[in-house]
Structure 1
Amino acid sequence: METGPARRQDTDVLSELPGELMMWVLIASEILVFGAGLLACLGVRIGDPVQFASDQALLDRTAAAINTFALVTSGFCAAAAVRAREAGKRGIARRWLFAAGCLGIVFLAVKAMEYASKIALGIGIETSPFFTFYFLLTGFHALHVVAGVGLLAFVAWADSLRNMEAAVAFWHLVDLIWVLLLPIIYVLR
């Protein structure tokens, strides 16, 4: 077993992570899962770029822009909650968490309207390979938004700094995944 400065340095690196180590393990695994899905989606795009572009043109870029604004703003609110909690301002931290959670709910409402409009057009998960990936990736992401909103609500109640840091780290994962999904699913033509 190592002792001395080398051992302390290793421990200090892990202790510098905000939140809990297992949350970071979860975040890394989720990035790998979404990364694999996005790579598979890109493989489909390469295999049939004309059909991919045709299907992609049916998506609502305005809804995607609104959702991007909602999630990026919610990430700011979540980070502000941690800063407020660090400063000992529990009430303000809770308000920031509430704002972040509400913006997550806005995201879910816009996504539900987007799904409803596709379904009304007869577009579903089996319509084409593009829409299979669209519904799977954005649906899985939406489940993460639901979990994140739940976590934010929980840490607003059990508001230790460590709990809040872990939940906000997960919430930033939700933001990051959306920022990765957005160009591949909605933007790149």
Structure 2
Amino acid sequence: MAASSALDELPGDLLMWILIISELLVFGAGLAVFLSVRITDTLGFAQAQDMLDRTGAGINTILLITSGFIAALACHLRRENRRRAARLSLVAAAMLGVVFLWIKGVEFADKAEQGIVWDTHAFFNFYFLLNGFHAAHVAFGVVLLLLVACWDIAENIEDATAFWHMVDLIWVILFPVMYLLR
């Protein structure tokens, strides 16, 4: 009998976990640089931060956390062989991701309407970069959830859900650092 390792306990595929860890490192580095630059201009960063839509960002936080719960529920449902319910849960999780993207798009459009672009201030350089990179991950995650809803192999659902939880985790860190931290 072969000895088991901690890697054997991970749900999903090892390559998905390598991707997740690398993405967390990239976002972590971006946030570390953001916080480092923020120290050099705390007043300017605070003034720029006051221009953000905290309400929309708060709603987006609720959307992604709820979506993550629903995606986890899909894994549970699929393990119970409740395939239709699992598929519907994945579609619901993806649709909450679409609503997140719509709110983020409205927020970006509002900034553009105000004449705020990436080089308006260093804060907005990071704001557009980190939020845009996260939005790209949300969009990819939505596609991934919908694909595994169509081809609902349990392992694929676990991989997609793990990726979606990474997207949640990044937002749960990005939201307070970008929108709330003074």
Instruction: Determine if the TM-score, normalized by the shorter chain, exceeds 0.5.
Output: yes
| Counterpart for residue 96 of structure 1 | 89
Given candidates 1, 8, 32, the residue that maps to 2:3 is 8
Shift of 1:15: 2.0
Using the alignment, how far apart are the partners of 1:118 and 1:44 within structure 2? 21
Given candidates 26, 31, 36, the residue that maps to 1:38 is 31
Given candidates 101, 106, 130, the residue that maps to 1:108 is 101
- SS of the aligned residue for 2:76 comes to helix
Deviations 1:20-46 (A, max 9, x none): 000000000000000000000001111
Does residue 177 (structure 1) correspond to residue 174 (structure 2)? The answer is no
Q: Sequence identity, in percent?
A: 55
Runs of 4+ aligned structure 1 residues displaced above 2 Å come to none
Given candidates 43, 56, 59, the residue that maps to 2:49 is 56
Q: Which structure: larger Rg?
A: 1
| Partner AA of 2:102 in structure 1 | A
| Partner AA of 1:172 in structure 2 | H
Deviations 1:141-175 (A, max 9, x none): 00000000010011001111100000000000000
| Counterpart for residue 143 of structure 1 | 136
Does residue 84 (structure 1) correspond to residue 115 (structure 2)? The answer is no
Shift of 1:9: 2.5
Shift of 1:110: 0.0
TM (norm. structure 1) is: 0.95
The root-mean-square deviation of aligned C-alpha atoms, in Å, is 0.8
Using the alignment, how far apart are the partners of 1:93 and 1:16 within structure 2? 22
Does residue 159 (structure 1) correspond to residue 152 (structure 2)? The answer is yes
* Unaligned stretches of 5+ residues in structure 2: none
Aligned length: 182
Deviations 1:118-156 (A, max 9, x none): 000000011110000000000000000000001001100
Does residue 19 (structure 1) correspond to residue 18 (structure 2)? The answer is no
| Partner AA of 2:3 in structure 1 | R
Shift of 1:14: 1.7
Using the alignment, how far apart are the partners of 2:144 and 2:11 within structure 1? 16
Using the alignment, how far apart are the partners of 1:44 and 1:183 within structure 2? 17
Using the alignment, how far apart are the partners of 2:36 and 2:127 within structure 1? 14
Using the alignment, how far apart are the partners of 1:66 and 1:94 within structure 2? 25
